[in-house]
């Protein structure tokens, strides 16, 4: 007899399906991801820490998992929802199935549900919690689970506990990356442009960062609110005007917060790899990869020196800012994870150019 699993949302809606992954139950916020490919990169991205991820693409698992495609050392999501799950990958690179990895990481999944209906519900009602449980779990127990305080990830859970290095053979610059949930793609993007990366914990002091004699500062993406990581915001304030700074994802929010920008929840989920963004500098449309549900209140930065450089075409929210006179830029999306990497690779190129304008390099400032 086929086992039945169900997912119950805090608004009372219930959907029945079939289990894959581990047999455990989970309760967390549900977000939907519109990417057609890249489920491994999504589920191992620290920005999805503690989320139940619903994939809108109808078949998930068909190419398995590859050792080279992890964005971090392990899966970070707390649950997975799909329409159809394929446990027989057809891919010469795959080393294990999605379900096998989810079992190792104690992540439950459910398939066979109407993902389109769930997405429509989430679009209309916003992000909400849900419980993935066995079919025979009674309503009172589910209600109790949903009412309990659920785990809210923070960058302290994700950030590395000690400094580590990722060097390149064509070294030109030293970049300190403040680890708020850094991914392998971010590191590769910087290394391919001649940067030796010093990855430091999120709570590293300004003095410690200075000791690495960096040419630029990079603040990575990650989960949570900047208000939960004041130390990162204060660190940014200490480097304003002293060297180029680039923030991505969480780093975007942290940089805006350093200039008194207010962070709030967005009404439209920004998860997936096909979000249209207008570059206000050249009026081009970029198709971007995103994984956030927080935005900057535009009114909070109107009187500052911040220049808005990018806007989301779905809800007109701010996706990019800059302070050219201080060599600071920040992007809400992932420039290293786009469908066509050439669309937004210039974000990292501009960062390198800002370092070059400072007139320093490996001959001036060896680490």
Q: What is the CATH number of the domain that holds 66?
A: 3.50.30.20
Residues 46 and 143 placed together within one structural domain of the fold: yes
- 364 located within any domain: no
Q: How far apart are CA 94 and CA 202, in angstroms?
A: 33
Tokens coding 197: 């990366």
Q: How many domains does the chain have?
A: 2
pLDDT at 70: 94
Query: At which of 92, 115, 147 does a domain end?
Result: 147
CA–CA gap between residue 270 and residue 249 (Å, rounded): 11
Are residue 179 and residue 197 in the same domain, yes or no?
yes
* Domain shared by 268 and 160, yes or no: yes
Shared domain check, 325 and 178: yes
Please name every residue paired with 16 in a beta bridge, in sequence order, or none if there are none: 6
The answer to whether position 324 is within a domain reads yes
One domain, residues 183 and 297: yes
For residue 363, being part of any structural domain is answered with: no
Based on the domain organization, do 91 and 181 belong to the same domain? no
Q: Which of 129, 147, 165 is the last residue of a domain?
A: 147
- 113 and 57 in a common domain: yes
Asked, for residue 366, whether it belongs to a domain, the answer is no
DSSP three-state, residue 98: helix
pLDDT tens by residue, the chain, 367 residues: 568 999 999 999 999 999 999 999 999 999 999 988 999 999 999 999 999 999 999 999 999 999 999 999 899 999 999 999 999 999 999 999 999 999 999 999 999 999 999 999 998 888 899 999 999 999 999 999 999 878 888 888 899 999 999 999 889 999 999 999 999 999 999 999 999 999 999 999 999 999 999 999 999 999 877 777 889 999 999 999 999 999 999 999 999 999 999 998 887 788 888 899 999 999 999 999 888 888 999 999 987 789 999 999 999 999 999 998 889 999 999 887 544 455 678 999 999 999 998 765 555 544 4
- 24 inside domain: yes
Task: Find the angle CA(49)-CA(52)-CA(53) to the nearest 5 degrees.
Answer: 95
Distance CA 149, CA 161 (A): 26
Closest by Cα among 362, 363, 364 to 195? 362
- Residue 118's H or E segment, with its range, is helix 115-125
Extract long-range pairs of 344-352: CB within 8 Å, 24+ residues apart: 344/286, 344/288, 345/189, 347/246, 347/248, 348/189, 348/190, 348/193, 348/246, 349/193, 351/216, 351/218, 351/244, 351/246, 352/173, 352/193, 352/194, 352/195
Same domain (yes/no): 187, 134 = no
pTM over 0.85: yes
Do 207 and 91 belong to one domain? no
Looking at residue 3, what is its pLDDT?
Answer: 86
Tokens standing for residue 350: 């501009």
Please report whether residue 339 resides in a domain: yes
pLDDT at 344: 76
Q: Are 190 and 286 part of one and the same domain?
A: yes
Range of the domain at 137: 5-147
> Quick one: pLDDT at residue 366?
44
Q: Which pLDDT score is estimated for 358?
A: 76
Which of 147, 168, 192 is where one domain is finished? Answer: 147
Domain membership of residue 333 (yes or no) is yes
Q: Is residue 365 part of a domain?
A: no
Which CATH number fits the domain that encloses residue 264? 3.40.50.880
Residues 81 and 217 in one domain: no
């Amino acid at each position: 007899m086929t086992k039945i699993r169900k997912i119950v949302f805090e608004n009372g809606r219930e959907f029945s399906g079939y289990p894959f992954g581990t047999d455990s139950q989970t309760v967390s916020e549900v977000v939907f991801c519109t990417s057609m490919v890249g489920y491994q990169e999504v589920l191992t991205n620290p920005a999805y820490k503690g989320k139940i991820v619903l994939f809108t693409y109808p078949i998930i698992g068909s190419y398995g998992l590859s050792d080279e495609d992890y964005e971090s050392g392990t899966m970070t999501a707390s649950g997975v929802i799909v329409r159809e799950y394929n446990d027989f990958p057809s891919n010469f690179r795959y080393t294990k199935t999605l379900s096998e990895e989810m079992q190792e990481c104690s992540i439950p999944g459910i398939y066979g549900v109407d993902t389109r209906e769930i997405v429509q519900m989430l679009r209309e009602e916003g992000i909400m919690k849900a419980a993935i449980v066995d079919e025979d779990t009674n309503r009172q127990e589910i209600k109790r689970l949903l009412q309990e305080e659920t785990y809210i990830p923070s960058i302290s859970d994700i950030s590395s506990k000690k400094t580590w290095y990722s060097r390149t053979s064509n070294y030109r610059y030293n970049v300190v990356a403040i680890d708020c949930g850094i991914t392998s793609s971010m590191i590769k993007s910087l290394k391919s442009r001649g940067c030796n990366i010093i990855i430091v914990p999120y709570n590293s002091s300004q003095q410690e960062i200075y000791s690495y004699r960096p040419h630029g500062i990079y603040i990575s993406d990650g989960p949570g609110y900047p208000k939960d990581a004041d130390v990162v915001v204060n660190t940014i304030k200490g480097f304003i005007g002293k060297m180029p700074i680039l923030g991505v994802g969480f780093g975007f929010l942290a940089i805006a917060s350093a200039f008194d920008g207010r962070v709030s929840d967005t009404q439209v989920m920004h998860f997936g790899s096909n979000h249209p963004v207008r570059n206000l500098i050249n009026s081009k449309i970029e198709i971007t990869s995103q994984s956030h549900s927080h935005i900057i209140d535009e009114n909070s930065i109107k009187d500052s020196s911040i220049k808005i450089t990018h806007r989301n075409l779905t809800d007109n929210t701010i996706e990019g800012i800059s302070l050219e006179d201080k060599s600071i830029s920040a992007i809400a999306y992932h420039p290293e994870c786009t469908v066509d990497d050439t669309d937004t690779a210039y974000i990292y190129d501009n960062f390198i150019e800002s370092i070059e304008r400072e007139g320093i390099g490996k001959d001036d400032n060896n680490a």
